[in-house]
Chain A
């Protein structure tokens, strides 16, 4: 089968199937019975969904309604933990910090991923294929290992920074100091995820019908115009998906700062991100109730944030 016929078949199949009503297949009763199979197929997942998502969420909410202190024991306090959370400077600072990370980190990852994907889309050489793989490789490295590696690389003793900077006659900066830790963490996350996003964007670019480029070329569009006026709008749904993931990931920032904290305890405190705060509260300070309130608040904020984002971009993402 040539790809053209496949394309035709696929396109027509997509067209005909979308919004098509279920076919009557031998009487309404039979159809109804068959539709029960739908539930059977979905049921195993539904069970897991109920046990490991709905139940924990409900449980967290329930726990967050109680307060347990070291000296006086546990009592029902209603929404007091939430009132406390939203006036707790540690939680609010952590929230602001992850928002700052979102503002810097997401564009950084996206820019690298987008430019790389656009360049790759115009090339088909061995170098480009190899680069595509190499840029993607960090995604295959577990986040913990990646962060451990970078904590070595940032180290003045282990790392290459001193060597590299001395080549240009400079002293290596301390990557783990309070004023540079932000950039150091942005760098780790960008390194880890940009390749993955690049592949998503690249795949989307590859699926654009090239006859459009032909038309654009005839109209006299140059490479830059093709990229910004045609390619970008056409992959906007991919971009929305990538940004949503990056946003959800960034707001629950945890692993990288936790790993780096072991070499930069001053610069990364125990409440550096809301997730780290919840973890410290629960497992270091044994305040499970308040930790649940923090976790639940964070979850609600992330959910609200990504929903708002998807609502604002509903045109691009195609979700309604």
Chain B
């Protein structure tokens, strides 16, 4: 029981911080008065579910340690390691294959995801705060339009965006990926909903009475209070940009500019086509494995922010 209460003690606090909506604790009735059989059943269910969700990842980890032929006819089968541990050879291969272009892709992904993600987040913070705390003319209609635009499928914009970018001469440049990913209406919506509750008007008034200008009030009073939402919106935007496939597929040609997802997809196409020397399945698996590490790590370390933050838009 003591371990139960100690874990409980942290989780709800995170939520309180994250959503601004109080999570009550300690929650009575949980775990108590419940038969052991049901708890075991619940655990078995969770473990089965977790296995389903983690098996593909396990496969990837194993595959990343195999050589090209080991992937096809290894001794360990698809879900276990081979006698031959080729992970470091594969890493070395990533440095030499096509002049180490993989790391260039990796850096591109970071650049696009963070430039796009950070930019979108900054715009969302400003706009969300503006919508939440000022009653300027046209606020209502504009916010309604922004809200409605969440429902416009972004992929429908790819073709016209491509045409526009090509007229601006931006096709096949990093800007062609970064600029469109600054658009994140959902982030604005989240930020507005959050700022509305998390930044009390009284505090802003107090700052103004102390003689602080609007910008200072925003930077010193509002920003610190918005932290959990900022992390959440940043993570969502970064993931969104990192995941983007359709847009870079259309606007990027130069192999040096591809993000890692597109680059690996291209290697797959070349390996499937199978021309001599182009079969690099081992590099594809190892490259995929390495490419998913950064996002998984950031989700792990930022858990206490996003777990509650993700629910901002829905919790009333």
Contact = CB atoms under 8 A, between A and B. Distances in A.
Asked if chains A and B come from one complex, the reply is: yes
A252 B155 contact: yes
Given A288-B159, A296-B156, A191 B52 contact: yes
Contact of B246 (A116, A146, A251, A255): A255
Contacts of B227: none
A285 to B, nearest CB: 13
Nearest to A61: B160
Given A17-B197, A52-B182, A279-B158, 5 more contacts: A6-B22, A53-B157, A144-B245, A159-B59, A200-B311
A109 interface: no
Nearest to B134: A38
Contacts, number: 368
Contacts of B268: 148, 262
A13, A42, A303, most chain B CB atoms within 10 A: A42
Contact of B291 (A36, A126, A145): A145
A25 to B, nearest CB: 6
A49 B185 contact: yes
A310 B233 CA distance: 23
B269 interface: yes
Interface string B197-238: 100110001001000001000100000000000000000000
Contacts of B272: 262-263
Interface string B43-76: 1011101101111110110010000000110000
Contacts of A282: 159, 162
A242 B310 CA distance: 11
B310 A35 contact: no
Given A131-B46, A237-B316, A240-B314, A152 B21 contact: no
B92 interface: no
Interface residues of A, number: 125
A194 B29 CA distance: 27
Contact of A124 (B4, B160, B250): B4
Contact of B19 (A203, A240, A307): A203
Given A148-B284, A254-B245, A3 B261 contact: no
B153 A298 contact: yes
B252 interface: no
B296 to A, nearest CB: 5
A210 B182 contact: no
A120 B60 contact: no
Nearest to B183: A52
B50 A134 contact: yes
Nearest to B245: A255
17 contacts: A40-B130, A56-B157, A63-B163, A122-B31, A122-B42, A125-B3, A134-B54, A144-B261, A158-B78, A194-B53, A248-B150, A248-B151, A262-B268, A275-B246, A282-B162, A299-B153, A299-B157
B315 A39 contact: no
A133 B54 CA distance: 10
B288 A237 contact: no
Contact of A158 (B57, B71, B131, B205): B71
A288 B303 CA distance: 44
